[in-house]
Amino acid sequence: MIKNSHYLLATVAVVSLGATPALAAGVLAGTDIENTATATYQIGGSPGAVDSNTVTIRVDEVLNVSVTTLDSGSVAIDGTGAVLTFSVTNEGNGPEAFDLTVLESIGGNDFNANVTFVAVDTNNNGIYDPGSDLILTTGVSTPSVDPDDALTVFVGVSLPGGQTDSDASQLRLTAEAATGTGAPGTSFAGQGAGGGDAVVGATGADDDDLGALIVSLGGSPLVALTKSATVADPFGGTQPIPGAIVTYSILATVSGTGSVDLLTVSDAIPAGTTYVPGSLALDSGSLTDAADTDAGEANGSGISVDLGSVTSGASHTVEFDVEVN
């Protein structure tokens, strides 16, 4: 049964684990364990034997389940939504259906995703196929799952709006045995496979796991360069005359989404001028002219500053001086 808790998209797929599974909970529910005792004896030298009545014990069903996310990390979500993947495994010893609940409001979330549907992966390909996989509506349990078999559950979600890149969110998928849950040892008379009782196992007949989302709205980062110059002449003015010092300032800005790598700002020394040694700076911090361990390099031909990886929204300023010949 899907229990609506701001209901997310999910898909469930039955995955066969083989014809003779190693049962997590032992002997199949409904199996009759029969035993008859025999006594042998002699009377006056003549042998005899007698059987006891046969005692039959029917194995009750144990209700156990585990839920595990199948995503290796956070799933990227954009304006088209996303799908989270879980495994729901029947760890009991009898066939059982499960009620699924998706809770999208988790403490610490940057946003709470909208659940769009829950479905069963009916073709067992591990991929949600709209129009092919079984959608589980509110109040409908999963198909019955054999012992040690699993359902692959896809939870589909959409963004509520107003998110930015790298916003993170989690949601919780819970599976409960349709027969019932409770403290280990709780018994449901006559509701087990084969007509026996159903007994809650160590998991309480319910389990859950978290899936993670991270917003990635796409797009490409944009790099912009803005260059300006100030002049200081030998007489205290701002005239570009021989002997004047020109300070060039280059503002490098990254906008958009994501980051750029290996960003390098370079500039040639203009004809008719001479580079002023030791004037190269990055974000007001001095750089050496030599090709050494800092980010800058300068000589009579030009300057170069390695900014490395720069994320969107960041900016850096490169400055250097030349003297008018």
| Structure confidence at residue 13 (pLDDT) | 40
Winning range, highest mean pLDDT, from 26-35, 76-85, 89-98: 89-98
Read off the pLDDT of each residue in 79-86 and give the average, rounded to a whole number.
91
The number of angstroms, rounded, from the C-alpha of 232 to the middle of its chain's C-alpha atoms is 57
Q: What is the pLDDT of residues 107-135, one digit of tens each?
A: 999 999 999 998 888 888 888 988 889 88
Dihedral of alpha carbons 59, 61, 62, 66, sign:
positive
Number of Cβ within 10 Å of residue 241's Cβ equals: 11
What distances in angstroms separate CA 322 from CA 230, 235, 251, one per listed residue?
11, 17, 18
Interacting residues of 293 by C-beta distance below 8 A, sequence separation 6+:
none
pLDDT digit string (tens) for 185-201?
A: 999 999 999 899 999 99
What SS3 class is residue 195?
helix
| Residue 23 in this model has a pLDDT that exceeds 60 | no
Range scoring the smallest mean pLDDT among 53-57, 235-239, 282-286, 321-325: 53-57
Calpha distance 163→24 (Å, rounded): 43
310, pLDDT greater than 60: yes
Q: What is the pLDDT of residue 24?
A: 63
Owner of token pair 């496979």:
193
Residue 19's pLDDT band (cuts 50, 70, 90): very low
Give the model's pLDDT for residue 305: 96
Q: Place 219 in a pLDDT band, splitting at 50, 70 and 90.
A: low
Which tens digits make up the pLDDT trace of 270-308? 999 999 999 999 999 999 999 999 999 999 999 999 999
Contact between 149 and 22 under an 8 Å Cβ cutoff? The reply is no
Mean per-residue pLDDT over the chain, rounded: 89
8 pLDDT more than 90? no
Task: Write down all domains in the chain, each with its CATH number in brackets.
Answer: 2-48+58-215 (2.60.40.10), 222-324 (2.60.40.740)
Distances (CA, A) of 54 to 31, 34, 57, 169, 201: 15, 7, 10, 60, 29
pLDDT higher than 50, residue 165: yes
Highest mean pLDDT among 21-25, 150-154, 255-259: 150-154
